[in-house]
Amino acid sequence: MPNSELSLQVDQTLDRFAWEEWAQMGVLATAGPPRSWAQDPEALLLFSFEVGRSDPRLFDEVLDWLITNEPLISLRRLRSLAVDPEDKALVDAVVAWLGQQRPKARFAQPTPEPSEVMLPLFYQERFPTAHPDPVFARYGWLRSAFTGTRKSMPPTIDAPINLSFRLRMLFGLNARAEIARVLFTIEEPAVTSATLARATGFTKRNVHEALAAFELAGVVASSGSGYELRYRLDHDRWAEFLEVSEPIEYVDWIPILLSLRRIQRWLRGSDRPDASAYIVASSARDLLERLRPDLRAADIEVPSRRRAESALDDLQSVLNQIFELLDLN
């Protein structure tokens, strides 16, 4: 499949996925079939900022959702999950914009130096912007001014997809809420603190402190010793407490959505008329090697073939696995 066709297919598939997720989290949109998994809000936000660059309406509806629901979002965690320069630049602009809509101390951040290079936020916009948004412009992004519509709603707390929000209302915007989400939904009977740190995006220190508090409270138990110490919770007891009658699925969102962001960016930049087939294939191979550790963590297989000529087929194989996992085929 030519890169242009694959890029279009991926853009459309990821855009549909983002809309379906947000529609069940409070965005004004037509909801698809109810999801049985628990979503990771910060990982989904970063993913949607990138996907929304091809769909301005999605980007703006997510901004509108943030105006209503920002107390449920950890800005600290959002920034910590932004590991690529593009992610960081988008997050800085969004947080500054949100501070204009809802002035609060937690939105405060240093004012950047005026950007010498302005990039269009939305890929299809190739015309001059008559009234650029001044906040986004400070961070080097050119887009029309937007103030939000205030049409988004708070998430339905008892929906499986919104489990994170319910736990945050109980424990706050901290590691405890995310650890509880992972331990309650993951299939493994017990997991290490290292696994929890990777799955939640918090430091090992934060995770150890939260686990110690849970153990003292008698709601999480540990077994083993040293580096083999594993943690579990009484699922039936938590299900009764949370009034959850059906299983809620675990998805390793952080590495999966990070990999999809990187793949989408690469596809957008790979369809250049001056790039030879070999250069594109070599670039795809480099991308797969960069993605390998994250995908391995999410149990997505990246073929180990070293020939550049097979890299595009391998990339398609990775996408097929992720789309099957997320029921997007």
DSSP string, 213-250: HHHHHTS-EEES-GGG-EEE--HHHHHHHHT--S--B-
**Count of C-beta atoms within a 10 Å radius of residue 143:** 24
For 304-318, the pLDDT digits (tens) are 766 767 788 888 889
What proportion of the chain, given as a percentage, has pLDDT over 70?
92
pLDDT of residue 2: 56
290, 283, 285, 286: which is closest to 269 by C-alpha?
283
pLDDT of residue 279: 77
pTM of the model: 0.92
Categorize the per-residue pLDDT at 4 as very low, low, confident or very high, splitting at 50, 70 and 90. Answer: confident
Region 271-284: mean pLDDT is: 72
Q: Does pLDDT of 102 surpass 90?
A: no
Of the ranges 5-9, 131-135, 199-203, 270-274, which one carries the lowest mean pLDDT score? 270-274
Query: Long-range contacts: 135-142, Cβ < 8 Å, 24+?
Result: 135/93, 135/96, 135/97, 135/100, 136/93, 136/97, 138/93, 138/96, 138/111, 138/112, 138/114, 139/89, 139/92, 139/93, 139/96, 139/112, 139/115, 140/89, 140/93, 140/115, 141/89, 141/90, 141/93, 142/118
Sign of the CA dihedral running 274, 276, 277, 282: negative
Q: How far apart are CA 296 and CA 302, in angstroms?
A: 8
35, 32, 33, 66: which is closest to 49 by C-alpha?
66
Of the ranges 71-85, 145-159, 164-178, which one carries the lowest mean pLDDT score? 145-159
Q: Does pLDDT of 300 surpass 70?
A: yes
Categorize the per-residue pLDDT at 271 as very low, low, confident or very high, splitting at 50, 70 and 90. Answer: low
Q: How far apart are CA 139 and CA 91, in angstroms?
A: 10
Q: Of 263 and 1, which is predicted with more confidence?
A: 263
Task: For strands 230-232 and 191-192, give the pairing.
Answer: antiparallel
Region 9-22: mean pLDDT is: 94
pLDDT of residue 101: 84
Q: Of 278 and 279, which is predicted with more confidence?
A: 279
Average pLDDT, the chain: 88
pLDDT of residue 31: 79
Q: Does pLDDT of 220 surpass 80?
A: yes
pLDDT of residue 244: 92
Q: Of 295 and 125, which is predicted with more confidence?
A: 295
Structure-block tokens of residue 87: 């992610």
pLDDT of residue 24: 94
Domain boundaries, the chain: 3-142, 160-242, 253-325
Angle between helices 277-297 and 253-270 (to 10 degrees): 170
Half-sphere exposure of 161 (CA within 13 A, CB side): 17
The 8-class DSSP code of residue 173 comes to: S
Q: Burial of 30 by CB count in 10 Å (0-12 exposed, 13-18 middle, 19+ buried)?
A: exposed
CATH architecture of 160-242: Orthogonal Bundle (1.10)
pLDDT of residue 112: 76
The 8-class DSSP code of residue 128 comes to: -
Distance from chain centroid for Cα 202: 14
The torsion of the CA quartet 238, 240, 245, 250, rounded to 10 degrees, works out to 0
Q: Burial of 226 by CB count in 10 Å (0-12 exposed, 13-18 middle, 19+ buried)?
A: exposed
At 44, phi and psi to the nearest 5? Answer: -70, -35
Q: Does pLDDT of 91 surpass 80?
A: yes
